[in-house]
Amino acid sequence: MARGLQKVTISFEQPGATHYGGMILFQQFCRKLDLKRRFQRYVPWERRDNAYQSSELLLCLIYTMVAGLERISDTRILAYNRSFQRLLGLSRFPAENTLRRFLKSLTSRELRGIIRVHDGLRSTLRRLPRARTSATLDMDSTVLPLYGWTIQGARCGYNPKKPGRPSYHPLVCFEGHTQDTIHGLLRPGDTHPLSAAKRFFRACHAKLPTYVHRKKVVVRLRADAGFFDERFAQLLDEHGVGYVLVARMMTTLKERATRLRFRTFRHAGRWQVAPVMFKPTTWTQARRFVLVRRPKPARDEEAAQLRLWTFKDFFYHAFVTNLRLTPAAVYRFYTGRAQVELDIRELKEALALGKVPTARFTANATHFELLLFAYDLVNWFRRLCLSGSWQQARLRTIRREVFMLPARLLKVGNRNVLRLPDTYPHRKRFQHAASTIAKLRIG
């Protein structure tokens, strides 16, 4: 076995070294999107900084989110990373207090401008690499526990993991085919999903392409029991949107379920399904419900995770829908919504959605929007620029295999040269991504 190094002389003389060498691909992609100019042009800035442009500070926040720096305080390590600074086109990286003050100074008008830039890119990039003839809206809410009662909007509400702790309760909508976000709304923690469901849907629907509203694209929606409401279902009917909503298991529905005739649609596991026209007590008309049942799992821990209504030897699911599909197809369509849980986990774990940076609600709402923006940028980058297994990889994998590469940024003659490790195993895919970005045409 080879002996380790015995004596090492330490020197701090190496210029241009970074462990974020692969971020050059993401930076080049953002340049193709003309992101800095879009921020300068479409955000009505109300502040001026002598040292940094506001658009530069926004890019700093987005790049650090993508690089994996969970808190603004973590950005202090970039103060001595000259190569990272040069990628951003900065002479020096802003101090953490500069970034935090910038967030706190942003107004609602500037936030709407950032959303306008985001929506513009959504509209352009949803058609790439090809236009789709259908759109699926996956709506969900999540809980962000807060650590401090002085945070604006910190309220006690539904918080299963940390009961009694204040929180935010944002709504997020994803497009089911691409996993791009469509819209997000940060709200205080004591709000119910239904309190803003109709307004949130209208905002999401308005962001779909204009040809959707001319009935040339099929629009469908999937949502959990938090959106189970007759008025919400009526709104979806009025807009011609097909939907599948998880239904709450009411006593009258449970009684009806015991008299239904179920048919097996998944022989492995004896899954069964039954349709029924049913009118909940508080509803004005009957609607089509689909009930799915499965035998109780043998393992107690699996049974505890399901949290479904049980009767005799079965667990039950219930859905309300207006889709003209077989009951089994309705259930299969809804199960595609499981991807949303992974997307929200990506926001929370890979992009640190739960790390609220300030006590100001507008600043936190802007930070929330920038997180959604960073998520979409990575999603577009992965879909349009990467190849092979990288197209399905999560952000943490892309960071590990693409972004976090040791590198040296040198000036050779009149050229900037980024030198990467000669033992890097994904050289061909990296070079393919670079050439794809160079050829990319964004309208």
Looking at residue 374, its pLDDT comes to 97
Residues of the chain with pLDDT > 90: what percent?
62
DSSP state of 363: H
State how far the Cα of 316 lies from the Cα of 313, in Å rounded to an integer.
Answer: 10
- Which pair of structure tokens corresponds to residue 266? 């998944």
- Which pair of structure tokens corresponds to residue 392? 């399905």
Q: How far is CA 318 from the centre of its chain?
A: 27
- Which pair of structure tokens corresponds to residue 53? 């442009």
State how far the Cα of 173 lies from the Cα of 182, in Å rounded to an integer.
Answer: 5
Place of tokens 């979806």: 236
Looking at residue 208, its pLDDT comes to 87
Q: Is 126 helix (H, G, I), strand (E, B) or coil?
A: coil
Q: How far is CA 26 from the centre of its chain?
A: 18
Residue 51 in contact with residue 97, Cβ under 8 Å?
Answer: no
Burial grade of 53 (CB within 10 A; 0-12, 13-18, 19 or more):
middle
State how far the Cα of 415 lies from the Cα of 409, in Å rounded to an integer.
Answer: 10
Distances (CA, A) of 123 to 41, 117, 171, 439: 17, 10, 20, 20
Residue 138 in contact with residue 175, Cβ under 8 Å?
Answer: yes
Residue 194 in contact with residue 227, Cβ under 8 Å?
Answer: yes
User: What would the DSSP string read from start to end of 195-236?
Assistant: GGHHHHHHHHHHTS-HHHHTT-SEEEEEE-GGG--HHHHHHH
Q: pLDDT tens digits for 308-356? A: 677 777 888 899 999 999 999 999 999 999 999 999 999 999 998 988 9
DSSP state of 296: P
Is the pLDDT reported for residue 303 higher than 60? Answer: no
Q: pLDDT tens digits for 10-35? A: 766 667 778 888 999 999 999 999 99
State how far the Cα of 86 lies from the Cα of 84, in Å rounded to an integer.
Answer: 5
Is the pLDDT reported for residue 115 higher than 70? Answer: yes
Q: Is 184 helix (H, G, I), strand (E, B) or coil?
A: strand
N- to C-terminal Cα distance for the chain?
A: 58
Distances (CA, A) of 391 to 261, 374, 401, 429: 44, 17, 12, 11
Q: pLDDT tens digits for 133-153? A: 889 999 999 999 998 889 999
Residues of the chain with pLDDT > 70: what percent?
91
Q: Which of 190-199, 207-216, 239-248 has the highest mean pLDDT?
A: 239-248
Q: Which parts of 94-166 are beta strand (E)?
A: 134-141, 144-145
State how far the Cα of 398 lies from the Cα of 402, in Å rounded to an integer.
Answer: 5
> Which tops the pLDDT comparison, 88 or 52?
52
Helices in 295-360 by DSSP H: which ranges? 300-306, 327-335, 338-345
Is the pLDDT reported for residue 8 higher than 90? Answer: no
Q: Is 316 helix (H, G, I), strand (E, B) or coil?
A: strand
State how far the Cα of 206 lies from the Cα of 372, in Å rounded to an integer.
Answer: 18
Is the pLDDT reported for residue 96 higher than 70? Answer: yes
Angle at 139 between CA 39 and CA 63, to 5 degrees: 30
Question: Across residues 391-404, what is the average pLDDT?
Answer: 93
Contacts of 101 (CB under 8 A, 6+ apart): none
State how far the Cα of 232 lies from the Cα of 200, in Å rounded to an integer.
Answer: 11
Contacts of 298 (CB under 8 A, 6+ apart): none
Residue 94 in contact with residue 57, Cβ under 8 Å?
Answer: yes
Contacts of 146 (CB under 8 A, 6+ apart): 154, 165, 166, 167, 168, 189, 356
Max Cα distance, the chain (Å): 82
User: Is 0.85 surpassed by the pTM of this model?
Assistant: yes
State how far the Cα of 75 lies from the Cα of 412, in Å rounded to an integer.
Answer: 29
Task: Give exposure, 191-209, as e/b (b: 16+ Cβ within 10 Å).
Answer: bebeebbbebbebbbebbb
